[in-house]
Amino acid sequence: MQIDSYLPCDSYSGHSESPAEDFRIFQNSENSQHYFTMLSKSGKVVFRSEGYPTTAARDNGVASVQKNRELRERYSVVEDEGKFYLILKAGNHQEIARSCPYNSMDELNGLYPFMVAGSVAAISFDDTPAVAAIAEADSDREVDNYLPCEAYAGHTDSPAEGIRTFQNGDGEYYFSVLNTNGDVMFRSEGYPTKGARDNGVASVVKNRDIKERYAEIEEDGVHYVILKAGNHQEIARSCPSKDKAGLMGLFPILGGLGLAAAAAIPAMAIPAVEAPVVEVPKVVPPVVPPSAMAEPEIEAAAGGLPKWLLPLLGVLFLVGVLLGLMRSCKKEPVTAEVPQVADTMKATMDTVKVAETTVPPAAGIQMDGFAPVVLYFENDQPNKNTQAVTTTSTYTQTFEKYMRLKSKFSAEQDTPDAKTAIEGFFENDVKKGHEDLKDITAKIAEALKEGNKVNVTVKGFASPLAKNDYNINLTKRRISSIQNYLESYEGGMLKKYMDKISITQQANGEDSSASGLSDDEKNTKLSIYDLGPSKERRVEIVDVRFVKE
C-alpha cells in the first residue's frame, strides 16, 4: 500500500464493482493505483483506502477491514490540520482505512456514536432514516420524564465531581448536577439501565464547560436552562423558574462571562487564591455579645453591680487586649525553621529563603501580566521511593523525562477519546507549563537585574496513590526542582541573585487531591496513567511579586 495516498472523498463515490457487501472497488486512471471504499447502509462513504499497486494487495486490504471493523479497540481518531478522521487499524496497529474529514469531534461522534467516550453503543454504520430517527430520539432514555426538583436532592452516590446518582421507586436511573453549595442545578430524565444513565453522566461532564451547549427555553410560562450534547440533544435541565432574569442570574455562563463547569454554578467566578495560614499563636479576645453594648435595659450582674458598669468593663477589657497586641507586635517576628539539606544541595539551598510554614507572600507589586503557572510531574518523581524533601534535579530534567513517556500513557488508555485527551494533556498542559516557566523566569531575571527582590509563592500537589506524609515530602521535592531550575537558568546567570529570591511554599498531600481518583497501586491504568491523577501531580506558581530595594 502506498502511504498517505488517499484520494479526495468524492473520488470514492459512484463505483459499482462490489467484491463484498458494503464495499466498492476501482482503479484510479491517473496513477493506476487500486482502491476500495466501505459504504454505510445509505451508500455514503464511511472508509477510504489508500492506493494499492495490485488488485491482490487491495483485496487483502478489503479482507483486513472486514476482519477488524467489529473490534472496538481497532478504532481511533486523529486530527490533521484542524480536521478529524476516524481511522481503522489492523492487529499490527497499521492504519488500513480512513474516514472522510470532519470539522469537529462532535460532528464525527454524531455520525459514529460508538466513538463517544464511555459509550456502550454497538458499532454500526446503519444510517438509514428509520435508524437515524431512533438514534435522534435516544431510545436509551424516556423523554420528558423529569422528576420534581426535590426528588434529586439528598443523594450521596457520586460518580464524578458535582454529580449525584440514584434510582427511584419505579426502577429508573437518574442523576443530578449540583453547585458548590450542594443545590440541584441540573436534572436528568429517567434511564432504563445504569449503563445508559452513566453514559448520560459522561455526556454532561464532557459538555458542561462548553458555553455553546447551554440554552434557555420557556414552556407554559416557565423558564428552564438546558444543557445539550454535541448533536443538539438535551441531556439535562434546570429546575423551573417563573422569573427568567433570576434564573439567568444563576447561570452567568449564558451572559458571556466566560466558561465554567456547571458544578461551579452559581458563582461562576474564579476563586481567589487561598491565602496560606500563618502558623503562629493567635490571641483571640472573647466575644462580647452585641446586646451588652447596645441594649440600655441590661439587668444588673450577680452581686449587685450597676447595670451601666458592664459595658464600661467590656470596653476596658478590649482596650487591655489591644494594648497587649500592640506590645506583641514589637517582638521579633517568628521565623520558620528550614530543614537541613544534604551536603550536595547546601550551597544552593542556603541561598534561597524557603518558608516551610504556610506564610503569606511578602508585600510587593505583582509581576505585570502574571497568570498562575502549572507544572506537571511524572508519578513519584523526582527521586522515587524516598522521604527526602529536596532533589538535585531541575524541573527541565523532570519535564523532558516525563515527555518521553507520552506514548506509554497513550497506550494505557482504553478508548480513542481517552487517548486523545491524554495526548492533548502532554502536548498542551505539560508543554505549556514548561514554556510558561521559561517566560516568568525571564521576567524574574530582568527584575533582579533592575535591583528588585522577588517573592514567589508556590503550591505543590500529588495524586492519592501514596500516603499523606510521603506525598507531602514528594511535593517538596517537586518544589525543590523548580528552585534548582531558577539556579541553573541560562547557565547559572541567577546564582548571584539567589539571596534576593524568597520562595514561600505550601506542600499538600493526598488529602488535597481531587475526590474519586484511584489509589490502587495494583491498577496502574487508573492510579498512574489515567488523566485524572496525571493532573494532580503538579506544582502551581500562584504568585510572583517584585519589591524594589
At 288, give phi and psi (nearest 5°).
Answer: -90, 120
Q: What does 145-181 look like in DSSP terms, one character per residue?
A: -PPPGGGGSS----SSTTEEEEE-TTS-EEEEEE-TT
What is the per-residue pLDDT for 26?
A: 95
Structural contact between residues 184 and 176, judged by C-beta atoms closer than 8 angstroms: yes
Q: Over 50: is that where the pLDDT of 264 sits?
A: no
Work out the number of other CB atoms within 10 angstroms of the CB of residue 16: 7
Q: How many CA atoms lie within 13 A of 115 on its CB side?
A: 25
pTM of the full structure: 0.39
What is the per-residue pLDDT for 212?
A: 82
C-alpha 338 chain-centroid distance? 33
d(CA 354, CA 392): 16
Q: Cα(first)–Cα(last) distance of the chain, in Å?
A: 69
Per the DSSP assignment, residues forming a β-bridge with 176 are 164, 187
Cα–Cα–Cα angle for 371, 264, 207, rounded to 5 degrees: 95
Per-domain boundaries in the chain = 9-137, 149-264, 290-329, 343-548
* 66-109 per-position pLDDT tens digit: 999 999 889 999 888 888 999 999 988 889 999 999 988 878 88
Q: Which CATH number fits domain 9-137: 2.130.10.10, 2.30.29.80, 1.10.10.10, 1.20.1080.10?
A: 2.30.29.80
* 200-211 per-position pLDDT tens digit: 888 888 888 888
Which pairs from 76-84 meet CB under 8 Å and 24+ separation? 76/416, 76/419, 77/105, 77/108, 77/115, 77/416, 77/417, 77/420, 79/420, 84/108
Q: Over 70: is that where the pLDDT of 318 sits?
A: no
* 226-246 per-position pLDDT tens digit: 988 876 778 999 988 887 777
What is the per-residue pLDDT for 59?
A: 94
d(CA 516, CA 159): 7
d(CA 445, CA 443): 5
d(CA 382, CA 364): 32
Work out the number of other CB atoms within 10 angstroms of the CB of residue 338: 13
* 143-164 per-position pLDDT tens digit: 467 899 889 988 988 988 889 9
Structural contact between residues 123 and 38, judged by C-beta atoms closer than 8 angstroms: no
User: How high does pLDDT run on average in the chain?
Assistant: 77
Structural contact between residues 268 and 252, judged by C-beta atoms closer than 8 angstroms: yes
9-137 and 149-264: same fold? yes
What is the per-residue pLDDT for 21?
A: 87
* 410-464 per-position pLDDT tens digit: 999 999 999 999 999 999 999 999 999 999 999 999 999 999 999 999 998 888 8
Q: Does domain 149-264 have CATH number 3.20.20.70?
A: no
Residue 547: exposure state from Cβ atoms within 10 A (0-12, 13-18, ≥19): middle
The contacts of residue 203 (CB under 8 Å, 6+ apart) are 116, 229, 235
Give me the sheet containing 184-187, strands edge to edge.
163-167, 173-178, 184-187, 234-237, 222-228, 214-219
Q: Grid coordinates in use for 299?
A: 439587668
